[in-house]
Structure formats: structure tokens, C-alpha cells
Amino acid sequence: MQSNLDGKIVVVTGASKGIGAGVSKELANAGAIVMLCARNTDQLNELKKEIDKENGVAHVFQLDVSSVIQINKVFKQIYDQFGRIDILINNAGLGYNHAATDVNEADWDEMMNVNLKGLFFCSQQAGKYMIKNGYGRIINMSSQAGLVAIKDHAVYCASKGGVNLLTKVLALEWAENGITVNGIAPTFTYTTGTAERLDNPEYLAGVLNRIPVGKVATIKDIFSAILYLTSEHSGMVTGSTLVIDGGWTIQ
């Protein structure tokens, strides 16, 4: 599929590692001007160096998405500097294992503040600027855990289920403004962060036992979905969550 990303202003939250870092590099390689947002600016600066070496363009912004004040400040700064926000990739997220009986209030608040509250207020700020320009693409990083129950993931599953429904509401409210809002729900994805577990043959076998296609997802799989959802070919697609799980959730 031909890239439509050349020169687009793309904001990626949680860009310092994992899927966020991987798709940021792919976006830059495709010609996008990538706003790298995360709490850890040391990691972001290292990522920017990698992108610079490949002749890509990226800018670093420190952002803790659990802070609405920071969200408002950073998105205004980006809009003031570039005059538009074309695409938002809401990737920032936390994921921990908690038996339901062990979850405390701090566990609940920490994950919800990032996975759901932060995602909403990033969308809100991007949405305001996209409405001004009459165009925008928002992609919310959900999970297969937002579609099926996963043991010891009560808070995580609840947060991602919320992301899926929030995606529908924002899509409905902003469709008339030339904005589409969609989600991506991956299965286990191979990154530097998941390599330690997925390189363990016993752990990997347990994962693959649940994935009919017999393999985990890659950054290329995730980016291909982003490429589609930001292209002219998906103009009639909004409020949907594209499941990239190799069949995990169909069983």
C-alpha cells in the first residue's frame, strides 16, 4: 500500500519503547514528521538519533499522559509549532498482572489514569485542533484483552474495554468534522520489551497455543494497520477496532 504519510504531523504517545518506539520508526521511514512523546526523554532522544540516522524527522516532547495539565501544554506546543496535528497514535499504556483479590486502589488508579483517562484527554486535545483544520485520524491502541477475559488482568481488561467503547463515542461525535477514530487490538507483539518472555520457549509455547495462526504479532503487523487506518482507503472506517490477534479472540 502506498504511504500517505509524507509530511504528516503524527503524535505518538508512549513512544519511548515497545510498540510505540517501533511504529515511530516506521512512521518516520514512511515520511511522517513524528512527535515522540513519553515520560523518559533519555529514551526518546536515543530513538530520535536512530530516526535521524535514517534521514527521518522526529521531535521529542516529555509527556506523562496521566497529567491533564501536561497533555494540554504539550499538544498546544505541537499545534503552535506546526499549525496542525494530522494523526494521533494513542499508544501509552500500562499492563500488570493482578489477581482480582489483590488489586488495591492505587493499582486501579495508576492503570486507569494512563490507559483510559490519559488516552481520552490526549484525544480531546488532538480532536480540538483537528476540528479547527477539518481533518484528523486518531488511532487508539487497545488489546485483545479488551475483547476477551484474561486471568489476572481485571484492571487491564477493564481499561482496554473502555478504550474500545470510547473509540466509538469519539468517532460518532467527530465524524462530521472530517475525523475518524479507530482502534487497534493486538495480541502478544514481539518487541525489545517482550523479547525476554517470548524468547523463552516454554512461555512462547503457551502463548502460541492460543493463537491459531501459530505466531505472535510484529511491529510490521501493527504498522500495516496504522498505514491502512490513516490512508484514503479507510475513509469510511470509523469507530472500529481492528483486531490483530491471529485468531486469539475467535475461540
Is there a catalytic annotation at residue 135?
no
Segments forming the whole domain that contains residue 126: 9-239
- Specify the CATH number for the domain of residue 144: 3.40.50.720
pLDDT for residue 192: 87
251 in any annotated domain = no
- The candidate with the shortest Cα–Cα distance to 213, out of 194, 193, 186, is 186
4 pLDDT tier (thresholds 50, 70, 90): confident
Residue 103 lies in a domain: yes
Residue 247 maps to a domain? no
- 12 CB contacts (<8 Å, ≥6 apart)? 20, 23, 24, 27, 34, 35, 36, 37, 89, 91
Query: How many distinct structural domains can be found in the chain?
Result: 1
- Domain-embedded: residue 250: no
What number is the average pLDDT over the span 61-74?
A: 98
Instruction: For residue 157, tell me if it sits in a domain.
Output: yes
Please, are residues 216 and 187 in contact by the beta-carbon 8 Å criterion? yes
Q: Is residue 145 part of a domain?
A: yes
Do the Cβ atoms of 20 and 69 come closer than 8 Å?
Answer: no
Which entry of 79, 156, 203, 228 is annotated as an active-site residue? Answer: 156
**Domain membership flag for residue 248:** no
Please count the CA atoms within 13 angstroms of the CA of 132 that sit on its side-chain side: 12
Instruction: Determine the pLDDT at residue 3.
Output: 62
What would the pLDDT profile of 77-100 be if each residue is shown by its tens digit? 999 999 999 999 999 999 989 999
pLDDT at position 160, please?
98
Residue 99 lies in a domain: yes
DSSP codes of every residue in 202-249: HHHHHHHTT-TTSS-B-HHHHHHHHHHHTSGGGTT--S-EEEESTTGG
What pLDDT digit, counting tens, does each position of 29-60 carry? 999 999 999 999 999 999 999 999 999 999 99
Q: What is the pLDDT of residues 100-141, one digit of tens each?
A: 999 999 999 999 999 999 999 999 999 999 999 999 999 999
pLDDT band at 1 (very low <50, low <70, confident <90, very high): very low
pTM tops 0.85, yes or no: yes
pLDDT 10s digits, 157-208: 999 999 999 999 999 999 999 999 999 999 999 998 899 999 999 999 999 9
